Amino acid sequence: MKLQGTMQINDKGHLEIGGCDTVELAENFGTPLYVLDEQYFRQNCRRYYRAFTEKYDGVVLYAAKTLLTLAVCRMVDEEGLSLDVVSGGELYTAKKARFPMERVYFHGNNKSAAELKLALDYKVGRVMVDNPHELQMLDRLAGEAGVQAKIMLRLTPGVEAHTHEYIKTGQIDSKFGMVIENGQAMEIIKRALALEHIRLTGLHCHIGSQIFELQSYAHAAEVMLGFAAEVRRETGWQPEEMNFGGGMGIYYTAADEPQSVSKFADTLAQAVKNLAPQYGLAAPKVLVEPGRSVSGPAGTTLYTVGAVKNIPGIRTYVAVDGGMGDNPRPALYQSRYEALLANRAAQQPQEMVSIAGKCCESGDMLIWDIDLPAPAPGDILAVSSTGAYNYSMSMNYNRLPRPAMVLVKDGAADIIVARETYDDLIRNDVVPERFNEGRVAKIAGAGR
């Protein structure tokens, strides 16, 4: 496993993160356990701030969907980034964390009236409008509130990044945004410009996730600016700002070759700066929405090894006390991860095994075919690059409580998400009163 951030192997031969021995973390907080490297998370925020904001006066929005807690909101705010939220729940979390609402941008392809009212009430910086229905609803709600809503329109530019089929969002056939090629985008722009309670400030696109080919972003800039020139010719309006989404790829396994944030910024911002005059436009402010590349590498998940089952000549299954409940990505996307035995981190691999989750589901496999020292019950398995989409997508399948999360730095570990209990699992369950009445009647009848 590649050591990232503050990871190192200490003199006990244990994996250490943020100055904390991960074996001790497992003993003190239990497993499964999400471990977030605070120094590395902040470092990733700073890379984006320096590359886009300091160098190009751009705006960096942290994509909350990748990992959002009250503590994460505080760190993002302290590092000077803005926030991209996609639901009323994420918006509420930001508000409770006292995140500056003028730096919040509200996404989503099917926002409810209640969510839009909340956004207006909180005075978010921008609403990223996805479709005509939302546009009309927002105009009505803003009128009722006596305000003018600042919006950006999400478009689909027809740029297909090389990534997993389920996480490509820039192509024409997508549930997100309005298509440029067929005239839908031009139509919604004209509608937005005509509405009294809407102020259109810019355009948005997102071409996919886990992207390593930076020229995909340059191509998106060319398409978006070319379209903006058409809009200016037809309406006289041009975008003050242009948001190119996120999608920067990170290291999960040796097959991944991430690009530097500075190279990403130079590729995109220079493309916008050079192309805008060619299309007769003033260069718009560049916005980006990194999420995975901020939180992903900063996260590690610890598990305790249970049963080890060898099928001679076939495979050795190593079962851990978590799985698709805390990390559904392998089941959803066939995602691959690296791992090591945290309590034997200095030992060389001895055999190829496969890591199985504990859910009652044959597809609950965390890692197929990984070389490790021969695992035994009680070993602590550390899976790297689990900071993005793991906690966010976690679930209670099989009524498994979701893990705790600790933030580690300088030898200190702080709980930022408490471990769920069995009581948490039934907290929202309700038994109809008539069931109790029937039970009383049955007991009374049995006593006759």
Residues with catalytic roles? 360
For residue 382, give the 3-state DSSP assignment. Answer: strand
CA distance 7 to 21: 10
Q: How many C-beta neighbours within 10 Å does residue 141 have? A: 19
Q: Which region, left, alpha or beta, applies to residue 247 given φ > 0 means left and ψ of -120 to 50 means alpha?
A: left
The helix (H) or strand (E) run that includes residue 311 is strand 299-311
Please give the biggest Cα pair distance in the chain.
93
| 4's tokens | 């990232």
Burial readout 223-248 (b: 16 or more C-beta within 10 A, e: otherwise): bbbebbbebbeeeeebbebbbbbbbb
| Centroid of chain to Cα 154 | 18
C-beta of residue 152 within 8 angstroms of C-beta of residue 126: yes
3-state SS of the chain: helix, strand, coil percent to 5? 35, 25, 40
CA distance 93 to 73: 8
CA distance 128 to 154: 6
Residues 6+ apart with CB under 8 A from 194: none
| 346's tokens | 């200095």
Q: Which residue bears the tokens 């598990």? A: 303
| 201's tokens | 């400030």
CA distance 1 to 4: 9
Q: Tell me which amino acid residue 355 is.
A: I
Phi and psi angles of residue 100, each rounded to the nearest 5 degrees, phi first: -60, 115
The helix (H) or strand (E) run that includes residue 91 is helix 88-96
Q: What is the DSSP string of 126-172?
A: EEEE-SHHHHHHHHHHHHHHT--EEEEEEEE-----SS-GGG--SSS
Total number of residues shown for the chain = 448
